[in-house]
């Protein structure tokens, strides 16, 4: 129960050896989400940073989506001298966080939902979170979906919900993007189109597992914001 609670709030519970290997490879993933206050909007929102990338053999990435799995516009792009680190900042009243670790052909997947909790006595509300999907030791499906296949401890198929399929497909691509210097799911506001005509995640890379996703280069942005 403690491990489940920890993953909801802090992301995948990785062994220290795995974290050390990611650090030495220069892959930085910021899984923490925070509650922030918008003074002009008179409301609280949730803030996250899409980040990560890959090297030969493994990759780690986190991105964010709307409650229904739809793409969100970024607040600003994060450009860095390094790669495989932060790519874009996103804020929204509700955030879906999707995190994937790839080791060779094995995938770990965590999807959680986050929103501001109830406000009390004028204090900043706590962050409320819920576990939406946890897949362990998955391998790429041979079907058209191009998504990892996961199983329960009893050996039964554990399918990724359809509303999560696009964001998970973007993670499959992101965890093979080496080196990664761009966002894979959140995008410039002008590239987010009405529901039903949503364009595919952008980026210059393509993995065999995500060839069903049409891609084009990201537009350059000059906005900056704190990480």
Q: Which of 26, 13, 30, 9 is nearest to 180 (CA)?
A: 26
Q: Report how far residue 213's alpha carbon sits from residue 136's, in angstroms, rounded to the nearest whole number.
A: 24
pLDDT for 122 equals: 76
More confident residue, 194 or 44: 44
Q: Report how far residue 108's alpha carbon sits from residue 135's, in angstroms, rounded to the nearest whole number.
A: 6
Q: How confident is the model at residue 143 (pLDDT cuts 50, 70, 90)?
A: low
E strands, the chain, in order: 34-38, 43-55, 58-65, 76-77, 86-92, 95-103, 106-116, 127-140, 148-151, 157-158
pLDDT in tens, 166-220: 999 999 999 999 999 999 999 999 988 655 544 444 444 444 333 333 333 322 3
Q: Is the pLDDT of residue 87 over 90?
A: yes
Asked if residue 146 lies in contact with residue 172, where contact means CB atoms within 8 angstroms, the answer is yes
pLDDT in tens, 2-25: 667 789 999 999 999 999 999 999
Q: How confident is the model at residue 39 (pLDDT cuts 50, 70, 90)?
A: very high
Q: Residue ranges per domain, the chain?
A: 2-210
């Amino acid at each position: 129960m403690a491990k489940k609670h920890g993953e909801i709030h802090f992301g995948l519970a990785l062994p220290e050896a795995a974290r050390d290997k990611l650090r030495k490879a220069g892959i930085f993933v910021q899984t923490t989400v925070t509650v922030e206050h918008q003074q002009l909007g008179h409301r609280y929102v949730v803030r996250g940073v899409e980040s990560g990338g890959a090297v030969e053999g493994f990759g780690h990435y986190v991105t964010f989506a709307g409650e229904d799995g739809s793409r969100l516009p970024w607040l600003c792009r994060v450009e860095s001298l390094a790669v495989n680190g932060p790519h874009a900042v996103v804020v929204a009243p509700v955030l879906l966080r999707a995190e994937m670790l790839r080791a060779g052909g094995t995938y770990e997947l965590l999807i959680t939902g986050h929103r501001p909790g109830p406000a009390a006595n004028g204090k900043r509300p706590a962050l409320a979170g819920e576990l939406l999907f946890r897949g362990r030791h998955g391998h790429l499906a041979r079907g058209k979906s191009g998504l990892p296949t996961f199983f329960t401890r009893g050996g039964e198929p554990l399918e990724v919900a359809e509303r999560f399929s696009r964001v998970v497909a973007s993670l499959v691509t992101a965890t093979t993007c080496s080196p990664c210097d761009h966002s894979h799911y959140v995008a410039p506001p002008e590239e987010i189109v009405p529901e039903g005509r949503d364009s595919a995640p952008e980026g210059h890379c393509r993995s065999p597992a995500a060839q069903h996703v049409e891609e084009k280069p990201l537009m350059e942005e000059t906005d900056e914001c704190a990480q």
